[in-house]
């Protein structure tokens, strides 16, 4: 395991060419903890508002639109002018609100629900932290931390920009899957420690589900590893660089239909790993009260919520890194690469932020579209659909690479300067076309035949969709 | 078997995409506010209910001039909303001098109305106590004695009905009337804890009484203060005299100046 170049630079700058462990620690804080705090935490927090707003819009409601920054402004005025009478303070507040732009901004914050975010945060911190009688104290108390650790550890290996990566693990893809496994330990501990049969059922369901869905996740990642020939996430990103202004064509998802399919499968399996509706077996409020977090309150409950949203971000970031070019821009990537280092870092981190935020929005969209599956349906979807599809895609991908290699498609393609001479499947236009047309055509024929043979829709489904 | 599997996947993906399309349509329509698809939630204090049923059990109203202070309502009330005082009038009849109903406790069960032997107690259709609304403001002003005239039961009903409609839909006359009883500037939005029902004379009397007590208290406090000040002054003078006796001449500060 190696620390990223930025970590080493900072450590060397602090304590000389052979940095001591604490200098490396400071470097890690600067390169891992601070970006995670600055990028992931706010998005995880805002994600809750996004969720509520999107849900409201889909259900013809307003969502949070009442709590604003008015209260905070009033507090500030009260504190700053405490020597004046109340009426004068009110008049000052009215004057401030009437200033051009201020009232508008406050109104926007109020309608967008961001004020609600602050209010919820304060509420969560202020709530009583209840440890009910009959719980397994230590296990109960430690569980939220483990869940949160599991959600944040993997970000150490996700490259946010060319130099903004904390751990250059050669097996980065594996590390991400392994580290995120902490979460399920946290969930099981929460279920067990609560001393409550519904919580325990929730925890057990979480384990059964996450362990099952790690197989399609692993297989999907294996596809990318096969294609890129490396498990280092940074090199996987570098592999998706084609050196053209239309840089999106270099992304893995456009290389082969099998990779595109694997991206979808990884996204859905990741969704199941986050325990989000339609896969929220572990919470299932109609069956298990609130599942593993029934007994939690206050900040500990907040940690579970934070872990959930961070995991959503992690899935978005992982799909982006593996299939959507990571932190690369869809167009004009070479120009961004030519910018000075600090600017390039900011732009790249921003692009990754946009990508995983879009992933979060997509997950929210799915959540408010699909109802919850039954437990057996969740398992069947995993073992009878996702896993076979993953295996088929892997097989197809291997075949593509074999035939492409035989046809002379392996090139030493352009890659980031740091990784010279990287092996690259660089298909010419014809090869690319063949790679897409043949499998898609085959699948289309297969579906057509299947529809002819079994096209009878399930009667209930037919009724629901109006026979469409 | 494989074909059935493929067909199943096709149908699943198809249904999934149909569902995603439906929710996306709702989302877009709602955000753009088109096709009557905007949010249907009523934004309560800003958009009051337009239709209130005739038999809604709303705020209580007592015609204080026929109430006989029998305490039947007080006994019937399960949550102890009432507190009242009465005195004999010229005809030796009991009349209410103070009649308070704590609406923050009331559960609108109506038992008190059933118990009232004189039918002086009745329920209006007004339900608004949020002081951000016209009706709530009216209640607040009535509660704090800022209304220049007392409303009769029909007036209260009218008020409740008008205040529960959007302002724009009111006639000019209604609006002017409403403005005369509510507080259009929205001052005094402090909070409402209870409701006092006074006849104007009783209210004036109660106010005078309160004022008198306040003045008495102030006078007592002032007297105590003056007495204390006099005592202190005497003590200080004594101490000063003692000090002057001990201080060398020419050092009026007592030798303590730096
Ligand atoms: S309506 Fe019920 S709760 Fe309200 S004052 Fe009358 S008896 Fe009491
Ligand atoms: S029951 Fe009727 S008459 Fe008796 S005190 Fe109550 S309001 Fe007055």
- pLDDT tens digits, one per residue of B27-59: 887 777 655 456 677 776 666 666 667 777 877
Q: Which atom of ligand 2 is nearest to the CA of B62?
A: 7
Distance from CA of B136 to the nearest CA of A (A): 19
Per the domain annotation, does B172 fall within a domain? yes
For an interface test with A, which of B1, B16, B27 has the most A Cβ atoms less than 10 Å from its Cβ?
B27
Reported as a single tens digit per residue, the pLDDT across A324-356 is: 888 888 888 778 888 887 888 888 888 988 998
Residue A171 has pLDDT above 80, yes or no: yes
Residue B54 lies in a domain: no
Residue B220 falls within a domain, yes or no? no
Among B3, B4, B26, beta carbon nearest to A58: B26
- Cα distance between residue A325 and residue A416, in whole Å: 13
Assess if residue B165 is contained within a domain. Answer: yes
Q: For residue B55, tell me if it sits in a domain.
A: no
Domain membership of residue B164 (yes or no) is yes
Q: What ipTM goes with this model?
A: 0.76
The binding-site residues of ligand 2, defined as CB within 6 angstroms of any ligand atom, are B 62, 67-73, 115-118, 120-121
**Of the segments A305-314, B93-102, B194-203, B242-251, which one has the largest average pLDDT value?**
A305-314
Among the partner-chain residues B3, B22, B31, the one whose CB lies closest to the CB of A450 is B3
Structural domain for B182, as ranges: 60-200
**Mean pLDDT, residues A372-376 taken together:** 85
The answer to whether residues A316 and A356 touch, using CB atoms and an 8 Å cutoff, is yes
Q: What is the CATH number of the domain that holds B106?
A: 3.30.70.20
Q: Is residue B153 part of a domain?
A: yes
- Let me know if residue B96 belongs to a domain: yes
Phi, psi dihedrals of residue A359, rounded to the nearest 5° = -60, -40
Q: How many residues does chain A have?
A: 468
Question: A453 vs B20: CB contact, 8 Å cut-off?
Answer: no
B109 lines ligand 1 (CB under 6 A): yes
Nearest to A227 by CA among A213, A240, A246: A240
Higher-pLDDT residue of A460, B235:
B235
pLDDT greater than 70 at residue A413: no
Pocket test for ligand 2, best of B64, B70, B114 (most atoms within 8 A of CB): B70
The three-state secondary structure class of A412 is strand
**Average pLDDT taken over every residue of chain A:** 81
Contact (Cβ atoms closer than 8 angstroms) between residue A117 and residue A48:
yes
3-class DSSP state of A20:
coil
> Above 90 in pLDDT, residue B149?
no
From the CA of B95, the nearest ligand is 2
At B178-209, the pLDDT tens digits run 766 654 443 332 222 233 334 455 556 666 77
Collapse the DSSP code of B79 into the 3-class scheme (helix H, G, I; strand E, B; otherwise coil) and give the result. coil
Q: How many CB atoms lie within 10 A of CB B211?
A: 10
Q: Is A273 helix (H, G, I), strand (E, B) or coil?
A: helix
Range picked from A94-98, A401-405, A426-430, B85-89 for highest mean pLDDT: B85-89
Residue B151 has pLDDT above 60, yes or no: no
Kindly report the protein residue whose alpha carbon is nearest to atom 4 of ligand 2.
B70
Positive or negative torsion for Cα A211, A214, A216, A222: negative
- The pTM of the whole model exceeds 0.80: no
The pair of structure tokens assigned to A161 is 């920009």
A-proximal residues of B, 30-49, CB under 8 Å? 30-31, 37-41, 43
Percent of chain A at pLDDT > 70 equals 89
Domain total of chain B: 1
């Amino acid at each position: 395991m190696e620390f990223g170049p930025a970590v080493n630079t900072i450590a060397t700058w602090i304590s000389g060419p052979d940095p001591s462990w604490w200098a490396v620690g400071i470097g890690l804080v600067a390169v891992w903890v601070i970006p995670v705090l600055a990028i992931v935490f706010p998005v995880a927090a805002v994600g809750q508002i996004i969720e509520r707003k999107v849900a409201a819009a889909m259900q013809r409601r307003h969502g949070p639109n009442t709590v604003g920054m008015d209260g905070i402004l009033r507090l500030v005025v009260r504190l700053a002018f405490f020597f004046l009478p109340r009426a004068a303070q009110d008049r000052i507040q009215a004057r401030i609100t009437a200033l051009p732009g201020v009232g508008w901004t406050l109104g926007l914050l109020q309608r967008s629900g961001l004020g609600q975010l602050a209010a919820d945060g304060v509420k969560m911190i202020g709530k009583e932290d209840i440890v009910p009688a009959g719980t397994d104290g230590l296990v109960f108390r430690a569980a939220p931390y483990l869940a949160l650790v599991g959600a944040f550890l993997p970000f150490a290996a996700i490259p946010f920009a060319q130099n903004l990566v904390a751990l250059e693990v050669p097996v980065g893809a594996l590390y991400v899957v392994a580290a995120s496994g902490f979460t399920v330990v946290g969930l099981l501990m929460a279920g067990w420690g609560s001393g409550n049969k519904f919580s325990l059922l929730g925890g057990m369901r979480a384990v059964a589900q996450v362990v099952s869905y790690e197989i399609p996740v692993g297989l999907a990642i294996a596809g990318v590893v096969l294609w890129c020939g490396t498990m280092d996430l940074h090199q996987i990103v570098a592999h998706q660089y084609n050196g053209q202004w239309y840089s999106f064509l270099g992304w893995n998802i456009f290389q082969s239909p099998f990779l595109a399919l694997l991206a979808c499968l990884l996204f859905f399996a990741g969704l199941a790993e986050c325990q989000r509706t339609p896969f929220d077996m572990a919470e299932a409020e109609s069956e298990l009260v609130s599942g593993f977090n029934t007994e939690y309150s206050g900040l500990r409950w907040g940690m579970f919520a934070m872990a959930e949203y961070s995991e959503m971000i992690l899935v978005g970031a992982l799909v982006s890194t593996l299939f959507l070019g990571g932190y690369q821009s869809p167009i004009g990537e070479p120009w961004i690469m030519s910018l000075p280092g600090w600017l390039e870092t900011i732009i790249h981190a921003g692009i990754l932020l946009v990508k995983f935020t879009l992933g979060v929005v997509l997950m929210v969209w799915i959540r408010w579209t699909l109802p919850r599956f039954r437990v057996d349906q969740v398992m069947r979807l995993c073992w009878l659909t996702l896993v076979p599809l993953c295996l088929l895609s892997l097989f197809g991908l291997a075949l593509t690479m074999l035939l492409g290699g035989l046809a002379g498609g392996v090139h030493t393609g352009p890659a980031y300067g740091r990784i010279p001479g990287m092996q690259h499947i660089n298909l010419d236009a014809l090869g690319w076309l063949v790679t897409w047309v043949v499998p898609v055509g085959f699948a289309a024929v297969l579906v057509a035949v299947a529809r002819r043979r079994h096209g009878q829709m399930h009667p209930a489904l037919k009724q629901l969709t109006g026979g469409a | 078997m494989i074909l059935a599997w493929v067909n199943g996947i096709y149908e699943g993906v198809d249904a999934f995409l149909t569902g995603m399309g439906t929710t996306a349509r709702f989302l877009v329509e709602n955000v753009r506010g088109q096709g009557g698809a905007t949010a249907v939630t009523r934004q309560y204090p800003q958009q009051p209910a337009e239709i209130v049923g005739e038999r809604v059990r709303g705020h209580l109203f007592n015609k204080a001039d026929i109430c006989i202070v029998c305490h039947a309502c007080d006994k019937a009330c399960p949550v102890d909303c009432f507190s009242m005082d009465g005195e004999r009038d010229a005809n030796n009849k009991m009349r209410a001098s103070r009649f308070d109903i704590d609406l923050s406790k009331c559960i609108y069960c109506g038992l008190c109305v059933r118990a009232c032997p004189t039918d002086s107690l009745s329920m209006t259709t007004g339900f608004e106590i949020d002081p951000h609304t016209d009706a709530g403001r009216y209640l607040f002003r009535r509660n704090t004695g800022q209304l220049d005239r007392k409303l009769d039961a029909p007036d209260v009903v009218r008020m409740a009905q008008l205040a529960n409609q959007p302002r724009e839909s009111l006639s000019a006359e209604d609006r002017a009337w409403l403005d005369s009883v509510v507080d259009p500037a929205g001052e005094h939005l402090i909070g409402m804890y209870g409701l006092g029902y006074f006849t104007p004379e009783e209210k004036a009397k109660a106010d005078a009484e309160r004022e008198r007590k306040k003045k008495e208290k102030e006078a007592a406090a002032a007297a105590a203060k003056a007495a204390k000040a006099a005592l202190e002054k005497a003590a200080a003078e004594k101490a000063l005299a003692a000090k002057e006796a001990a201080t060398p001449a020419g050092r009026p500060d007592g030798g303590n100046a730096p």
